[in-house]
Amino acid sequence: MFIEGANSNNGNYNAKNEKQRFIFHVDMDSFYASCELAQHPSWKEEPFIVGADPKEGKGRGVVLACNYPARKFGVHSGMPISRAWQLCPSARYVFPHHEMYGEVSKRVMEILRQFTKRFEQISIDEAFLDFSEDLSIVSLRGTKERGEALTSVATAIRNKIREQENITCSIGISNSKIVSKIATDLKKPDGLIIVEPDKIVEFLAPLPVEKIPGVGKVTQKTLLESFDVKTIGDLAKVPLELLEEKFGRSALWFHDVALGIERGEVITDWEPVSQSGETTFDIDESDYENVSKVMKEVAAEVHKRTVSDGYLFRNVGIKIRLTPFETHTRSRSLSAPTDSLEIALKECEKLLEEFSLSGKSVRLIGVRLSSLEEKRTEDQHTLLEWS
């Protein structure tokens, strides 16, 4: 059905008469926790949690990340830190070091850029790489040869990141961005999986429908109650017109993804006019106080990257994904450029207020600082000076 590592079957790699694409999704494993573990290897076997001070179960912050031993206790990112304490009071609780995470991220992304110019960073610890123009792969015939070539490249990427940064990553490979991402999530940690084009529908069919990015608890419930959909294969069988009655314009996206149809391009012409970051809740979050806390953590990380690169910002924006799969962006322009974290956090809070009364759970929250200007001189006026 699919290839793990270098194993493969002979045959025509591309079942359709169209240009074959080779899209890698590279995702660092539990990134913040991995960065901490790289600094403290002795923590490997013990559960540890990156986030706010639990204050013996009375803390009001959230879990930013945790290692895999902690996940065995039911701890996950976005969880209230007080709940994490209840589940695993014996864990080591670590205050986040955002500046370090940003520096590691920069170095990892530079490693990835060494393998192909067709590169798109999508978060602090994720990126897509497109090898569709790589003649050393494209020129090969047959699934086995191409599978081995793709495995060789992916192994080189994983080895280089491990050797340089002492962290692991997982890689999914297919002919589309979304299938590669789904594949990556199935093979964590330190995994590698290649999904052949003519096996995509078969690969997706048995997976729970919530494996599709953006399908949260509300959407999952609607699909189950309306169409008895439990798996991606079930979703593929629902007529598009019936999905449209429930989900409107999102229906076509659901329908296509279930059939493995997705042609989104790897965007390579990114310019440093903004800095952004986002996080996806493992479980849809209905408590907007927790959403706000996570948003502020994301904002702090984005702010540190922006300032460390020597920029002021003049626009603050948020991205929020509500269930069922409603994505919204909002932004505010400032009267003058600034490098103030306090201002960034206040603006983010104002933008989030619009959604807090919606009654809808949150799947994803992101922050973007844009309209960047280089901080040229020490006497350059900023918003705090003008106010």
Helix (H) or strand (E) holding 109: helix 98-113
Token code pair at residue 91: 């864990």
Token code pair at residue 314: 């003049």
Amino acid (1-letter code) at residue 27: D
148 assigned to active site? no
Amino acid (1-letter code) at residue 243: L
Candidate list 120, 126, 196, 297, residue with the active-site label: 126
β-bridge partners, 279:
365
Q: CA angle 353-356-357, nearest 5°?
A: 110
C-alpha 48/C-alpha 43 separation (Å) is: 8
Which of 11-17's residues contact partners 24+ apart within 8 Å by CB, and which partners? 11/142, 11/143, 12/142, 12/143, 12/198, 13/142, 13/143, 13/146, 13/147, 13/196, 13/197, 14/197, 14/198, 15/197, 15/198, 16/197, 16/198
Helix (H) or strand (E) holding 194: strand 192-194
Number of H helices, E strands in the chain: 15, 13
Could you give the dihedral angle defined by the CA atoms of residues 110, 111, 113 and 114, in that order, rounded to the nearest 10 degrees? Answer: 120
Collapsing DSSP states into helix, strand and coil, what is residue 170?
strand
Task: Write out the DSSP string of 296-363.
Answer: HHHHHHHHHHHHHTTEEEEEEEEEEEETTTEEEEEEEEEEEEE--HHHHHHHHHHHHHHHHTS---EE
C-alpha 289/C-alpha 204 separation (Å) is: 35
Q: Which residues contact 372 (CB under 8 A, 6 or more apart)?
A: 272, 273, 274, 275, 306, 311, 312, 313, 314
**Active site (catalytic) residues:** 126
